[in-house]
Structure 1
Amino acid sequence: MERIVVSSSPPGGLDSLVDYRFARCSHFTVVDVENGKIINVSVVPNQSAMTPHGAGIQAAQVVASLGAQVVITGNVGPNAFSSLQSLGIKIYLGAGGISVKDAIMRYLSGSLSPASGPGSPGRGMGRGMGRGMGTGRGRRW
């Protein structure tokens, strides 16, 4: 049996889209495959998505704790890439925007290529310049 974890948009599952982000995706869809067939699917919320710093490393640790041998995602930053590699987890990039099921089928057919390096680093949680106060509320400072 092979366990594949896919970064997923809400609500997760085979019909959800593969999220372009690994560390900041909302869910991980966990797919067990045996003899080229999907035998089990579960969805796990990504608790590291809202972490201000180090989300990639934390997400990699979560994926490892799920027993993943393969990760499929749209993009993975350098910290997550290094963490996944050191854990022996294979990484496949460029699947963002297609359904999780389609990504799994492409992986099983060999049409997804393994990542040779990380994608561009993420931007984290943003700079917080708006301070959560909105605009146009007539406030004077």
Structure 2
Amino acid sequence: MSKILATSTGTELDSAIDPRFGRSAYFALIDQGTGALEAIPNPFLDAASGAGTQAAQWVLEQGVDVLVTGRCGPKAAAVLEGSGVRVIEGASGSVREAVVEVAAEP
């Protein structure tokens, strides 16, 4: 099973998707096998610069397979996609809705 990371405005499955990747308030890590959610405050939220690429490196360290966000900058997307992480942009609604959508895709 895969690990999904969704950018989130809060710590719950019903929190809204944060439209920003590198400056997202939280990273919601969801294990598709167990359904477990771990909401982690974004350690790069207040970075002076390079928040997106730093966050992308962190995502890789977490073993994430799919990133769901509103928008991922080109440098961060290149880091993620170059390492095999599927990046889904344009997400909205709740973290729960986004995860259900990803799980339903072939």
Superposed pair shares fold, TM > 0.5: yes
The residue type paired with residue 108 of structure 1 is A
Q: 1:80, CA displacement in angstroms?
A: 0.7
1:61-116 CA-partner distances (Å, limit 9, x unpaired): 111111101100001111111111122111001113x00000001111229xxxxx
Equivalent residue number for residue 73 of structure 2? 77
Equivalent residue number for residue 136 of structure 1? none
SS at match of 1:39: coil
**What percent identity do the matched residue pairs reach?**
34
- Unaligned ranges ≥5, structure 1: 112-141
Equivalent residue number for residue 37 of structure 2? 41
Equivalent residue number for residue 7 of structure 1? 7
Structure 1-normalised TM-score? 0.71
1:49-128 correspondence to structure 2 within 5 Å: 49-96=45-92, 98-110=93-105
1:16-50 CA-partner distances (Å, limit 9, x unpaired): 1001001100100000013xxx5211111111111
RMSD value, Cα: 1.4
Structure 2-normalised TM-score? 0.93
Structure having the larger proportion of residues in helix: 2
Q: Structure 2 CA distance, aligned partners of 1:58 and 1:86?
A: 15
The residue type paired with residue 47 of structure 1 is P
Q: Flag the structure with larger Rg.
A: 1
